[in-house]
Structure 1
Amino acid sequence: MARQIIHQRFISTILHRRTISTAAAVDVLQNSTITPPPPPPPPPFELHTSNPRTRTPLANQFETWLEKLKPGFTPFDVDEALRSQSDPDLAFDIFRWTGQQRNYKHNSLTYLTMIQIAVSGNRYHHAETLVEEIVAGACSGSVPLYNSVIKFCCGRKFLFNRAFDVYKKMLNCEDTKPNLETYKLLLDSLLRRFHNVNVCFVYLRGVKSLSKQMKASGVIPDTFALNMIIKAHAKCLEIDQAIRFFREMALYGNEPNLYTYCYLIHGLCEKGRVDEGLGFYKEMREKGLTPKGSTFMVLICSLAMEQRFSDSISVVFDMLNGSMSPDLLTYKTVLEGLCREGRADDAFDKLEEFRKKDSFMNEKTYKILLNGLHYTN
């Protein structure tokens, strides 16, 4: 009998929370000069009634699940009830009601399920509340729960620092040490803030700290994690450190991929170490990897500015053979550079060859390049 009274009161609270207070609305209208509209018709049901015919579908579902949760229910029973709900608000109400019962306490399983339901249902306010409860120690933690919290926090700009609070909480607990997924989530979150050189150096310290802690804790990085570390160092032009992590890939049994080489080539060319960049380019081509268009163009322009036109033109043809087209600036850098070196005839000949090979070059681009050669010559 006591249990029935409790959950009937809880239902009334839930439904009251979802309705607009008519008394408050009338009070505002009485103090206003505007003629109040006629009051809305009374609801077709009584909120606290026990008659199932007059209840809303939401109240009926809530009532049904309370009946299924027999006295002495466990977190596994609550987890099943939460996963069975299509309405995230109803799931949250069940989560709150069960948490208020005697001799019951939510654990990491139910918190993890509720956070996943709240995020997938776009109930971010609920998720933020749950995160604060978890950080405050509302339940015993687990690695999947903490990783789920970190993932959510990394996706919300104003919760960025909270993600690292959870990470520190994991480090301080023997049973919830960070795993590879934890480090990848945090590294990815840091790299998304590498907008310019000054900001890069600020966040690079965080990347270095994470990479050291990952090694110290015995977590073996995969190619994706090492690529993020290499990218961070390459963007900050700490090329020697980036190459050192590249060499360490073999120690962990990882194989460098397309992105590994592209990050290194970009960094080396920006640093002025074009010859080394060309060496990594040849190495990746030997492995059958094709760079992205931006990597091609960075290398082509860098070689041309070093007056290495033979290598630059060779990379241009390699790019064209891969059904990719350099942009106007890349073409101008190579062709006008030839003119300035006194090789105007070669420049005009190469322009005609590029036009035949490049199916994307239109008449406008061709005329701009041709006029630029005449002017430079």
Structure 2
Amino acid sequence: MALFYTVSKRPIFLNPTPTLRFCSASSQPPSDNETAVATAVSVLKHHRSKSRWTHLRTLFPSGFDPSQFSQITIQLRNTPHLALRFFLFSIQHSMCHHSLLSYATIIHTLARSRQKSHALALIKSALRKFPDANTDSPLRTPPLIFETLITTYRTCDSAPFVFDLLIKACLQSKRINQAIEIVRMLRTKGISPMISTCNSLIMSVSKHHGSIAGYEVYNELLGSTRQFGDQKLGVKIVVPNVHTYNIIMHSFYKDGLIENLEQLWSDMIVNKCLPSAYSYNILMAAYCDNGRMEEAMRVWEEMRNKGLKHDAMAYNTIIGGLCEAGEVDKAEEFFKEMGLDGEESTCVTYEHLITGYCKTGDVDSAMLLYKDMCRKEFTPLGSTIDVLIKELCEKNKVSEALKVSRFAMKRNNVVMKGESYELLIKGLCNEGRMDEGMKLQAEMVGRGYEPNSGIYSAFINGYEKEGNKEQAAKLKMELQSIK
């Protein structure tokens, strides 16, 4: 593999690389291959768009080999759209049995002209078309197209952007380990991917292998020195941005690693990277989830002092934290402030408050919010409906609970938990509404929930209350048989 280094953001190969031959201007007569290439280029460049393709097939019925295709494409590199049309035409009419060489050439041509989507699609196609030799390996070696892209880099007058596209293609194809190896090999040769590419890599690793693995990749790529402008092994350290920190902090937050999150926050401040509103929201959410409301409020105030506007996410986070801590009155104040601040409340806002009021036993306030939520055509989660039904049933408001369940199921297609069915059935039986209870029990079974001893007991007690001892006795025998 040829070695190269960076000058003016473009790698220059140090070792000789294979070059593609062009039509010679020397005194020697051109070869048949050179003549074919020159003719094809002339047809593509100078014939009218409608006739060039027919003329090309007439002149070259046998098509081109990959080397010829590459030579033609290189001479079309200043007209990338024409080069791409030539590539697609050669596939459609089977005019070239493409190899890694021809794929690499058209990919370079498109990448150097920033034809991102087309280049990315062809890289992904090459990954599929030319699989790795050892399919049993854990994909810890770069794909075959990587080597060819390097050896053809200088000849195609390409740009480092092509390797960012390759890394992105690997990530989208779930070849995460290969993407990591590509980055490592590039860095040993003086190339660092763009920060956006590094961020995508860190995000993919965090998603598939956990926050600690993502942080290790971050440390390897971006945290190797505290002075981010330093040179190390001839590689300029790419400076992490706020999006980098947000990715890792969010990953730490999801994994419940609040101490790691706090340490990364300190690193961000030390490295003079200004946190965004989203950064503050992550830290605030971590404190809220851990019941550390004083620290969450400190973060809230710091946002304000830094001139950052509290968005809906920030309001929902602090409202949810206060409701979880039982401070619903304070949460209601933030809810009102949210409207005055010009931030539209969301479905999540209402769900936090409804759950909060239910936890404190204020089901009337919860119902007022639920009705307001329905007027705004928000779709509540099933868990919110379950909490509301539970509190209504405990307050002996079974009819109201039944209306809530029916409305949620009919309008929002919400599926209740088995526990909610049980509470409703118990409430109906307790009020002597046995027929309604039986219908609801049949619906419950249709939803896949089996009746338990609690439901049997509710029906038995209900039938005994109304004097139907025969039906109660039958249910007692049935209950004994399933125990």
For this structure pair, what is the TM-score category when the shorter chain's length is used for normalisation?
A: 0.5 to 0.7
Extract unaligned runs of 5+ from structure 1: 9-55, 71-76, 100-105, 195-199
Deviation at 1:265, TM superposition (A): 0.9
Alpha-carbon distance in 2 for matches of 1:3, 1:316: 67
Determine helix, strand or coil for the equivalent of 1:83: helix
Q: Which piece of structure 1 moves more, 228-237 or 280-289? A: 228-237
Alpha-carbon distance in 2 for matches of 1:355, 1:58: 62
Structure 1 residues 353, 186: CA separation in 2 closer, same or farther (over 3 Å shift)?
A: same
- Work out whether 1:182 is the aligned partner of 2:279: yes
Alignment of 1:52-67 (within 5 A): 61-62=149-150, 65=153
Match of 1:155 in 2: 251
Q: Which amino acid aligns with 2:298?
A: S
**Residues 320, 358 of structure 1: 8 Å contact kept:** no
Which of 290, 311, 318 is the matching residue for 1:229? 318
Alpha-carbon distance in 2 for matches of 1:264, 1:255: 15
Match of 1:11 in 2: none
Alpha-carbon distance in 2 for matches of 1:319, 1:184: 31
Determine helix, strand or coil for the equivalent of 2:223: helix
Structure 1 residues 360, 325: CA separation in 2 closer, same or farther (over 3 Å shift)?
A: farther
Determine helix, strand or coil for the equivalent of 2:350: helix
Alignment of 1:7-18 (within 5 A): none
Determine helix, strand or coil for the equivalent of 1:133: coil
Deviation at 1:251, TM superposition (A): 2.5
Alpha-carbon distance in 1 for matches of 2:258, 2:389: 38
Match of 1:243 in 2: 332
Alpha-carbon distance in 2 for matches of 1:179, 1:139: 22
Alpha-carbon distance in 2 for matches of 1:290, 1:190: 27
Structure 1 residues 93, 119: CA separation in 2 closer, same or farther (over 3 Å shift)?
A: farther
Structure 1 residues 160, 138: CA separation in 2 closer, same or farther (over 3 Å shift)?
A: farther
TM-score (norm 1): 0.63
Alignment of 1:112-131 (within 5 A): 112-117=196-201, 119-120=203-204, 124=214, 125-131=216-222
Deviation at 1:161, TM superposition (A): 4.0
Alpha-carbon distance in 2 for matches of 1:187, 1:282: 29
Aligned length: 299
Determine helix, strand or coil for the equivalent of 2:339: coil
TM-score (norm 2): 0.51
Extract unaligned runs of 5+ from structure 2: 6-12, 16-143, 168-177, 231-236, 466-483
Alignment of 1:292-371 (within 5 A): 292-322=381-411, 323-337=413-427, 339-340=429-430, 343-344=431-432, 347-352=433-438, 354=440, 360=446, 365=451, 369=455
Alpha-carbon distance in 2 for matches of 1:350, 1:170: 60
- Work out whether 1:374 is the aligned partner of 2:464: no
* Rg comparison, structure with higher value: 2
Alpha-carbon distance in 1 for matches of 2:429, 2:155: 86
Match of 1:83 in 2: 164
Alpha-carbon distance in 1 for matches of 2:452, 2:217: 58
Q: Which piece of structure 1 moves more, 251-260 or 119-128? A: 119-128
Let me know the Cα RMSD of the aligned residues. 4.2
Q: How many percent identity over aligned positions?
A: 19
- Work out whether 1:266 is the aligned partner of 2:347: no
Determine helix, strand or coil for the equivalent of 1:249: helix
Alpha-carbon distance in 2 for matches of 1:247, 1:98: 55
Match of 2:229 in 1: 139
